Chains A and B, each alone.
Chain A
Amino acid sequence: MFRSLQYDDRDQVTLTINGWEVAAREGQTVWSAMAVNGQVETRRAALSGDARSAYCAMGVCFECMVEIDGLPNQQACLRRVSEGMNVTTQRITEESEADDAGL
């Protein structure tokens, strides 16, 4: 279970993680905001669809790729939270079909 050692709530921003609205400290990484809120599943593995989560937290494993504001392949451990950001677990596997193009 991840928890923060900080107790004050200065400089907070609000973002959405997998549909849940959460508060985070400005400048915090997206991954740590996910971790303290119990949303540790960052992506699904490309072939098996197995759940994956951050492994290195420093940008070298690419396990923490999430979708941020609809854009996939964003490394949650390197991106920083911002007001109104929408973060979702990335679910692109070999089986994924693109939605109707809406045309």
Chain B
Amino acid sequence: MKADVLVIGGGIQGCATAFHLARQGVSVIVVEKDYAGRHASGVNAGGVRLLGRDMAEVPLSKTSMEMWQTLDDDLGHDTGFRRHSLINIAVDDADLGALQVREDKMRAAGYTHERIIDRSELMDRLPHVNPDCVGGVISDLDGYAIPYKATAAFRRAAEDLGAQVVESEEVLGLRRIGNVWLAQGRQHRYEAETVVNCAGAWADRIALLIGDNVPLSHAAPMLMITARMPHFAKPVVGAVSRQLSFKQFENGTVLIGGGAKGFADRANNRTRLDYSKLAAACRTTAEFFPIMHKASINRMWAGLEAYMPDNLPVLGPAVNAARAFHAFGFSAHGFQMAPVVGQVLADLVTGGHSRFNLSPFRIDRFDRKVL
């Protein structure tokens, strides 16, 4: 099979890249070893978060957030996005102090999307919060989307524009011969001028085939979801200094995250849960929101996710090969970035450059460091 671009990995980054490329008239094939959205893209917490981003990521994340606001219309498919804001709760003066330091830094850089709120505004926006909490910080544009739906929406939008998605297709070999990349899949052979590596937790293996080394590690962030509860929290909720993270969807179910990690068994395509860490997340959630004592947990799971040592993604051209690009290692916060990542990669593929400063995301940024 032949195309201008071969995207490896049918997660949300790969599907978004295919969408932006196809929109510019580029022919593109996405190969996915399982099915599109099978791993981190389909089973993450769905947070669409600009709040609290690393300074290096803010410009990308901010643009992406603007794209989310009209994404359903742009794609012509439902991502389940709801803009209900995100609040990180402060429990004491130390938390408020940390928020103030962050705000000063943000203001100095010219950013105004994060705003400190006092206790009364917190109680107003989250009437069920533990009254001992003292305030927090809010980002109004934030919200959530439904992970599998959002990934499927990008995929279908890309397909509407002529992109091809080949599932159950693992890339076994990849070689650059002359001006083309030759890829050997389990089912087919592919030929493309350009390859884009969006292989998520498996991206280090694809990077190796391309010729780049990368210190990628894996983990299995765990999530649990409750049976429906009466609506009690519209914003997405986090905390300044505690492992608290949950959102109540419109259907009433409450998704609890918080970053606790289970066990990642990449070789077997599986994860295992660490129940004592999930128990801790339960305790924290009920401590902040006593109504959660009435919750029943319906499902628990973990997704395989790739992490970089600095928790920043790899985004940009390969260093040891021509016409190859990377976008992976989002370290459990890449879902929100997908719209802009697809745009950046399409710009790199078609024009050779991006309007964003991608130097913090270079794949070789750890080459000289001892980790």
**Residue B351 at the chain A interface, CB threshold 8 Å:** no
CB-defined contacts of A92 to chain B, threshold 8 Å: 228-230, 252
Give bound CA distance, A96 to B248, whole Å. 12
Interface size on B, residues (CB 8 A): 16
**Residue B35 at the chain A interface, CB threshold 8 Å:** no
Give bound CA distance, A72 to B123, whole Å. 25
**Residue B75 at the chain A interface, CB threshold 8 Å:** no
On whether the beta carbons of A71 and B294 are closer than 8 Å, the reply is yes
From A62, which residue of chain B is reached at the shortest CB distance? B227
Specify the main secondary structure of chain B where it touches its partner. Answer: loop
**Residue B360 at the chain A interface, CB threshold 8 Å:** no
Give bound CA distance, A100 to B291, whole Å. 11
Assuming the A-B contacts A93-B228, A103-B123, A103-B131, are A98 and B291 also in contact, with contact meaning beta carbons closer than 8 angstroms in the complex? yes
Assuming the A-B contacts A70-B294, A72-B294, are A101 and B128 also in contact, with contact meaning beta carbons closer than 8 angstroms in the complex? yes
From A71, which residue of chain B is reached at the shortest CB distance? B294
On whether the beta carbons of B231 and A96 are closer than 8 Å, the reply is yes
Give bound CA distance, A94 to B227, whole Å. 11
* CB interface residues, A 78-97, toward B, < 8 Å: 92-94, 96-97
**Residue B160 at the chain A interface, CB threshold 8 Å:** no
**Residue A73 at the chain B interface, CB threshold 8 Å:** yes
On whether the beta carbons of B231 and A98 are closer than 8 Å, the reply is yes
CB-defined contacts of A70 to chain B, threshold 8 Å: 294
CB-defined contacts of B127 to chain A, threshold 8 Å: 100-101, 103
From B297, which residue of chain A is reached at the shortest CB distance? A73
CB-defined contacts of A99 to chain B, threshold 8 Å: 230
Chain A positions within 8 Å of B, measured between CB atoms, are 46, 70-73, 92-94, 96-101, 103
Chain B positions within 8 Å of A, measured between CB atoms, are 123, 127-128, 131, 227-232, 250-252, 291, 294, 296
Given contacts A73-B296, A94-B228, A103-B131, 4 further A-B contacts (CB under 8 A): A46-B228, A72-B296, A96-B230, A101-B127
Q: Which 8 A-B pairs have the closest CB atoms?
A: A98-B232, A96-B230, A98-B230, A73-B296, A101-B128, A97-B231, A101-B127, A94-B251
